Amino acid sequence: MAVAAVAVLSSAVTSTAAADFTLRATANSNENDEDYDGLVVFKNYVEAASNGAVAVELFIGTQLCSNGAECLQGVADGSIDIYISTSGGAAGIFPYVQVLDLPYMMSDDRIAEHVLSGTFTRTLRAMALEDSGNAIRLMTVGNTGGWRNFANTKHRVAEPADLEGLKIRTVVADLPQELVKALGAAPTPIPWPELFTSFQTGVVEGSKNGITDIMNMKFPDAGLKYVTLDGHAYMGALWWMNNEKFLSLPEDLRRVVVDGFYALQQATFASPKRKSIQAYEDFVADGGDLYVPTPEQKAAFKEAATPVYDWFRENVARGGEIFGALEEAVAEAETAVNAQRDADLN
């Protein structure tokens, strides 16, 4: 098997010199990130399955662009073919993608993966194409970092009242700030590169992050010692492509690219699960306090966060439309996944 895999890789690499099409893909991250894992799988699949007709060039970091607005503009004008953003990174152009940050909508990985593999993502795609003048195409939604959990420097958070008054770092997008306010804390927008120092100096006392981000950034060294596994949001990764470039490919190669994004999605679904195991172990070994809320406490968090749903429907362009689509997709996923679980019990 290893020899065969090497042969496939070698074939793909050697044939890219004669490629008929080249796709320039960028991620504003690094080689330790799930985004990079996904791009490596995508590149290998597309180059091999196209017999070298399509070459994929990877630009990791800020070589082509430095933030969501700039990178999505690059996708729109064709200087970038493929780009991955968080919902916050794309909210300035497509505000309704913040639906992925709505708290406590999806209960676990199986539900989230079912939702993001179905018609809900196609609904988001159609909306983004319409609102970008058919320039920006959503190819798939994967994961980047697992689940968002509340973490802080002060004390264990077991229920919403424990967040009262804490200064919680958020991105500049409105929805995360509304969530923090609904739970009684104080939202404090801080750029990601400044967060370590902000913990040290007390500018902020908490954040909403996945465990791999917490450990990769060494936040425990800055005093972040308490993590509550409330799992309020699945960290969706939106993979965008220049629509004209996609449609310019022959149909057989479009099929290869679509299958490549499926392989990428599966890789990003899996990568955080593996990486989080060691990250949690390292957090606890370093003296961190890891708390799992009871079902009753989890229900209390969800109840406290419900004003955010009304805010989203009323204040976000096309918010009611996409909220309804997500509710429908979650209900369908719960029915399908729970039926699978029941069947496997017998």
The first and second tokens of residue 321, run together, are 């439309």
Q: Domain coordinates of the chain in residue numbers?
A: 2-344
E strand or H helix that includes residue 49: helix 34-49
CA distance 256 to 218: 39
The pLDDT assigned to 7 comes to 38
Q: Is 202 exposed, middle or buried (0-12, 13-18, 19+ CB in 10 A)?
A: exposed
Main-chain phi, psi angles of 311, to 5 degrees: -60, -45
Read off the tokens for 48: 């091999």
* CA-wise closest residue to 146 among 266, 276, 337, 30: 276
Residue 63, classed as helix, strand or coil, is: coil
Q: What DSSP assignment string belongs to 169-224?
A: EE-SSHHHHHHHHHTT-EEEE--GGGHHHHHHHTS-SEEEE-HHHHHHTTGGGGT-
Strand duo 186-189 + 167-170: pairing: parallel
Predicted confidence at residue 17, as pLDDT, reads: 56
Q: Mind listing the pLDDT tens digit of every residue in the chain (346 residues)?
A: 443 443 344 344 444 458 999 999 999 998 988 999 999 999 999 999 999 999 999 999 999 999 999 999 999 999 999 999 999 899 999 999 999 999 999 999 999 999 999 999 999 999 999 999 999 999 999 999 999 999 999 999 999 999 999 999 998 888 999 999 999 999 999 988 899 999 999 999 999 999 999 999 999 999 999 999 999 999 999 999 999 999 999 999 999 999 999 999 999 999 999 999 999 999 999 999 999 999 999 999 999 999 999 999 999 999 999 999 999 999 999 999 999 999 999 8
Tokens of 123: 């609904």
pLDDT of residue 63: 93
> CB–CB of 233/296 below 8 Å?
no
CATH classification code of 2-344: 3.40.190.170
pLDDT score at 93: 95
What are the two backbone dihedrals, phi and then psi, of residue 319, each rounded to the nearest 5 degrees? Answer: -65, -45
Q: What is the Cα–Cα distance from 61 to 320, expressed in whole angstroms?
A: 35
Burial of 314: CB neighbours in 10 Å, binned 0-12, 13-18, 19+: exposed
Q: How many angstroms separate the CA atoms of 173 and 316, rounded?
A: 11
How far apart (Å, rounded) are the C-alpha atoms in residues 67 and 102? 22
Supply 57's token pair.
Answer: 């060039």
3-class DSSP assignment, residue 236: strand
Handedness of CA 64, 67, 71, 73 (dihedral sign): negative
Tokens for 274, please give them: 């593996």
Alpha-carbon distances, residue 222 vs 194, 196, 211, 230 (angstroms): 12, 6, 15, 22
Within a 10 A sphere around the Cβ of 26, how many other Cβ atoms?
24
Neighbours of 122 (CB within 10 A): 11
Q: Among residues 51, 60, 100, which one has the least CA distance to residue 82?
A: 60
pLDDT at 44: 98
